[in-house]
């Protein structure tokens, strides 16, 4: 059984089509949670599980972190027994799923707590020409597979009711911070070709207003300026690349401490 | 006494220095680069392409009309401490003047060998062997590697000893992405096997795409982008990976097209441990902008327009433009002004400027030199020149 959280922003029909697609490829072993912050009923998903209707959400839209936090809270409050949860923005399209191989990947390393479904055309494929799965540390933003136990522990440790930092509104360095939290705790993250996804960026380009987000260029500008301010405020680190190097060090330490897994690293011997 | 390769390794790796390669876009750029190398008492490579400086057999290059011997003699005459490295950039078949593009393969190889012979005779220290122009003429990767081996063999046969010069190999097709590491490794392994078969020395530097691409007066490569460029790994991932691969092969990474990178990106060259980086057009553009600024400041509109027309009419700006570029005429002049600094009429225009400026107590040539020096120094400071050992 796997939980899937889909975050909808005024693209109800797109969201419902994605849900149908998920069910068709994953079969009955899936529990879909739709977090919706649509501004009108006709733009909402017909499969809403969690309705985000706060004034701020309706005004600014829900971004990845805040939206997923609502879905995660719903699942944990419902005492989900699934081992993994898949987080998908509404503009995701499933290109390929090899379910059996994916399950094998998820169980391939005991310390594995987060897996990046490979985006179509990802340059990481170059670093793993032979295998489908690899451990890494600096992956693209967007969809993630998270281990439910890790999410539960992180929330308990933080003392807050959220997994993703809600102060990081646009989700700057979300993937890097996720890897940081894993490696800082002696755990690890990886990526797999057995779940290949595509981001349909046309929605963001053509329907930014409908999705209650800024136009792409403005979004990029704010993503960086607000994100760097968030990084400096939270960690006291001025340069994002310095933060990245810290995560890399954690990754390398993990490989040293787990020599049996070193061959699974991106660019490792078996790759 | 250490040989050249060992000395360079000791400086670059031992001091964690990124060796700057400066395109000698003009006599001013050449002079300022040599002066800074002597100021820091640390090697700076001067990296003429064959279009900039070439054997007198092929008519020299567009920079001062210099032949290889003349360029070498000039540099040696001003390099009091011996810190300037003469480094041929992109030598190989079809890498010379426009005329060389019409040559057959055997003719182009003969021409490349003759050009390299002059480099060696003129005391060049580094030779970048780059037959990659053959790729666009139907030759394969393996053909290109064999051409590289043939050129290295020819060079060694012309040297007093095989360690007289160090070699740089690899291509730097300007792109926003890079070759897969596995492809790079296969190329290196093939090259090493062929070099070993003929008892030839391995290169010291390997040119690999690190995410730099120069168009107009900007760097559009992935290295300097705040977002991951689609199909490219972030620099924080890729650069350590390529450095690790080259380290295992005993090679140093040479990055090309580092022009116009931000101060922060330059700082990361040393932090990552990138061993060398080439910068060329930016220094020419800096000189052109300074010249144009002085012409405007001293109300030399006729000369300003004449210089601009010379540059615009020649069309050297075209290869630097983005597809569909909205670049204005003044931007085109800035991009390509340096191709014409040796034009007798441009020399006259600069003399007119000097005289007009001198009336106001201003040394325009000194001002232009200072701009160029500051532009080069931005790289040197970021790359570890002058840093405490």
- List, for residues A147-182, the tens digit of each pLDDT value: 999 999 999 999 999 999 999 999 999 999 999 999
């992180």: which residue's tokens? Answer: A154
User: Do the chains contact at B241 and A267, CB–CB below 8 Å?
Assistant: yes
Select from A267, A269, A270 the residue whose CB has the most chain B CBs within 10 Å, as the one to mutate to test that interface.
A267
Of B227, B230, B264, the CB nearest to A239: B264
Q: How far apart are the first and last CA of chain A?
A: 30
User: Do the chains contact at A244 and B234, CB–CB below 8 Å?
Assistant: yes
The pair of three-digit structure tokens given for residue A250, joined into one six-digit string: 């954690």
Q: Who's near B28: CB < 8 A, 6+ residues apart? A: B287, B341, B365, B368, B369, B372
Higher pLDDT, A40 or B297: B297
HSE-up of B60 (CA within 13 Å, CB side)?
Answer: 11
Strand, helix or coil for residue B385: coil
Of A121, A129, A138, the CB nearest to B237: A138
User: Do the chains contact at A123 and B268, CB–CB below 8 Å?
Assistant: no
Closest chain A residue to B177 measured between Cα atoms?
A123
Q: What is the pTM of this model?
A: 0.90
Residue B69 and residue B60 in contact, taking contact as beta carbons nearer than 8 Å:
no
Measured between alpha carbons, how far is A26 from A140 in angstroms, rounded to an integer?
24
Of A129, A220, A245, the CB nearest to B182: A129
Measured between alpha carbons, how far is A144 from A175 in angstroms, rounded to an integer?
9
Measured between alpha carbons, how far is B134 from B91 in angstroms, rounded to an integer?
12
Measured between alpha carbons, how far is B238 from B334 in angstroms, rounded to an integer?
33
Closest chain B residue to A265 measured between Cα atoms?
B241
């509109």: which residue's tokens? Answer: B301
CA distances from B286 to B202, B291, B292, B357, B374 (A): 36, 9, 10, 19, 9
Residue B215 and residue B175 in contact, taking contact as beta carbons nearer than 8 Å:
no
Distance in Å, alpha carbon of B264 to nearest chain A alpha carbon: 9
Does any CB of chain B come closer than 8 Å to the CB of residue A150?
no
CA distances from B302 to A191, B349, B360 (A): 63, 10, 19
Chain B residues with CB under 8 Å of A121 CB are: 230-231
- List, for residues A121-156, the tens digit of each pLDDT value: 898 887 887 899 999 999 999 999 999 999 999 999
- List, for residues B265-296, the tens digit of each pLDDT value: 999 999 999 999 999 999 999 999 999 999 99
Measured between alpha carbons, how far is A17 from A266 in angstroms, rounded to an integer?
34
The torsion angles phi and psi of A48, rounded to 5 degrees, stand at -60, 130
Closest chain B residue to A270 measured between Cα atoms?
B182
A269 pLDDT band, cuts 50/70/90, is very low
Of A123, A224, A239, the CB nearest to B233: A123
Residue B260 and residue B214 in contact, taking contact as beta carbons nearer than 8 Å:
yes
Q: Say how many residues make up chain B.
A: 389
Distance in Å, alpha carbon of A11 to nearest chain B alpha carbon: 25
User: Do the chains contact at B182 and A248, CB–CB below 8 Å?
Assistant: no
Radius of gyration of chain B (CA): 20
ipTM score over 0.85, yes or no: no
Residue A74 and residue A151 in contact, taking contact as beta carbons nearer than 8 Å:
no
Distance in Å, alpha carbon of A177 to nearest chain B alpha carbon: 15
The pair of three-digit structure tokens given for residue A136, joined into one six-digit string: 């890494």
CA distances from A26 to A106, A108, A164 (A): 15, 20, 26
Does any CB of chain B come closer than 8 Å to the CB of residue A248?
yes
Strand, helix or coil for residue A34: strand
pLDDT mean across residues, chain B: 94
| Residues of chain A numbered 197-236 and touching chain B (CB < 8 Å) | 220, 224
Element containing residue A93 per DSSP (H, E): strand A92-97
Residue A99 and residue A26 in contact, taking contact as beta carbons nearer than 8 Å:
yes
The pair of three-digit structure tokens given for residue B33, joined into one six-digit string: 């680069």
- List, for residues A239-261, the tens digit of each pLDDT value: 999 999 999 999 999 999 999 99
Give the pLDDT of residue A202.
74
- List, for residues B219-253, the tens digit of each pLDDT value: 988 888 877 766 778 899 989 989 999 999 999 99
User: Do the chains contact at B236 and A123, CB–CB below 8 Å?
Assistant: no
- List, for residues B32-75, the tens digit of each pLDDT value: 999 999 999 999 999 999 999 999 999 999 999 999 999 999 99
B219 φ/ψ sector (left φ>0, alpha ψ -120 to 50, else beta): beta
DSSP per-residue codes, B110-171: HHHHHHHHHHHHTT-SEEEE--GGGGGGT--HHHHHHHHHHHHHHHHHHSSSTTSSEEEE--
User: Do the chains contact at B234 and A138, CB–CB below 8 Å?
Assistant: yes
Measured between alpha carbons, how far is B63 from B200 in angstroms, rounded to an integer?
33
Of A126, A138, A244, the CB nearest to B180: A126
A203 pLDDT band, cuts 50/70/90, is low
Give the pLDDT of residue A270.
42
DSSP per-residue codes, B231-243: TS--HHHHHHHHH
Q: Taken in order B261, B266, B271, B276, is the CA torsion positive or negative?
A: positive
B216 pLDDT band, cuts 50/70/90, is very high
Distance in Å, alpha carbon of A43 to nearest chain B alpha carbon: 30
What's the rounded mean pLDDT across residues A34-60? 88
What's the rounded mean pLDDT across residues B118-130? 97
User: Do the chains contact at B230 and A244, CB–CB below 8 Å?
Assistant: no
The pair of three-digit structure tokens given for residue A204, joined into one six-digit string: 């963001």
């Amino acid at each position: 059984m796997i939980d899937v959280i889909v975050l909808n922003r005024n693209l109800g029909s797109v969201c419902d089509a994605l849900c149908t697609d998920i069910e068709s490829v994953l079969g009955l072993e899936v529990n879909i949670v739709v977090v919706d912050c649509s501004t009108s009923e006709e733009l909402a998903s017909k499969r809403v599980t969690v309705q985000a209707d706060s004034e701020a959400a309706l005004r600014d839209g829900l971004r990845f972190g805040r939206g997923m936090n609502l879905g995660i809270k719903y699942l944990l409050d419902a005492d989900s027994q699934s081992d993994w949860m898949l987080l998908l923005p509404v503009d995701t399209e499933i290109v390929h799923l090899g379910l059996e191989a994916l399950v094998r990947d998820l169980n391939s390393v005991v310390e594995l707590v987060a897996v990046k479904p490979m985006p179509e055309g990802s340059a990481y494929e170059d670093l793993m020409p032979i295998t489908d799965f690899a451990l890494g540390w600096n992956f693209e933003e967007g969809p993630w597979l998270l281990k439910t136990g890790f999410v539960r522990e992180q929330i308990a440790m933080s003392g807050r009711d959220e997994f993703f930092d809600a102060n990081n509104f646009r989700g700057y360095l979300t993937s890097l911070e996720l890897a940081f939290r894993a490696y800082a705790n002696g755990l690890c993250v990886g990526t797999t070709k057995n779940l290949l996804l595509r981001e349909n960026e046309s929605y963001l380009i053509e329907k930014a207003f409908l999705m209650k987000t800024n136009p792409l260029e403005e979004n990029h500008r704010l993503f960086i300026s607000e994100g760097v301010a968030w990084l400096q405020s939270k960690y006291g680190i001025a340069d994002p690349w310095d933060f990245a190097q810290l995560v890399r060090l954690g990754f390398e330490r993990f490989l040293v401490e787990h020599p049996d897994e070193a061959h699974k690293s991106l660019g490792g011997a078996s790759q | 006494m250490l040989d050249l390769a060992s000395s360079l390794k000791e400086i670059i790796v031992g001091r964690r220095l990124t060796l700057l390669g400066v395109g000698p876009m003009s006599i001013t750029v050449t002079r300022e680069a040599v002066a800074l190398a002597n100021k820091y008492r640390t090697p700076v490579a001067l990296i003429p392409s064959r279009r900039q400086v070439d054997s007198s057999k092929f008519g020299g290059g567009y920079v001062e009309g210099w032949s290889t011997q003349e360029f070498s003699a000039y540099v040696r005459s001003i390099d009091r401490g011996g810190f300037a490295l003469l480094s041929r950039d992109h030598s190989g078949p079809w890498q010379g003047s426009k005329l060389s593009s019409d040559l057959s393969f055997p003719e182009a190889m003969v021409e490349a060998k003759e050009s390299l012979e002059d480099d060696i005779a003129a005391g060049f220290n580094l030779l970048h062997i780059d037959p990659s122009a053959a790729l666009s003429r139907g030759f394969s990767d393996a053909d290109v590697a064999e051409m590289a081996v043939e050129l290295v063999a020819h060079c060694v046969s012309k040297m007093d000893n095989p360690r007289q010069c160090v070699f740089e190999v690899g291509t730097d097709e300007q792109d926003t992405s890079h070759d897969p590491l596995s492809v790079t490794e296969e190329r290196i392994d093939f090259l090493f096997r062929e070099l070993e078969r003929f008892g030839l020395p391995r290169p010291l530097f390997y040119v690999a795409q690190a995410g730099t691409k120069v168009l107009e007066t900007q760097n559009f490569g992935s290295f300097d982008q705040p977002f991951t460029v689609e199909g490219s790994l972030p620099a924080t991932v890729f650069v350590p990976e390529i450095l690790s691969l080259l380290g295992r092969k005993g090679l140093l990474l040479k990055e090309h097209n580092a022009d116009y990178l931000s101060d922060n990106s330059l700082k990361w060259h040393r932090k990552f441990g990138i061993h060398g980086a080439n910068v060329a057009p930016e220094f020419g553009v800096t000189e052109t902008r300074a010249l144009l600024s002085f012409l405007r400041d001293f109300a030399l509109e006729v000369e300003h327009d004449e210089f601009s027309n010379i540059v615009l009419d020649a069309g050297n700006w075209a290869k630097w433009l983005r597809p569909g570029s909205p670049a204005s005429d003044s931007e085109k002049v800035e991009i390509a002004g340096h191709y014409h600094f040796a034009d007798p009429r441009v020399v006259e225009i600069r003399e007119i400027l000097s005289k007009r400026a001198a009336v106001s107590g201003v040394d325009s040539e000194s001002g232009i030199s200072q701009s160029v020096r500051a532009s080069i120094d931005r790289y040197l400071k970021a790359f570890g020149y002058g840093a405490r050992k």
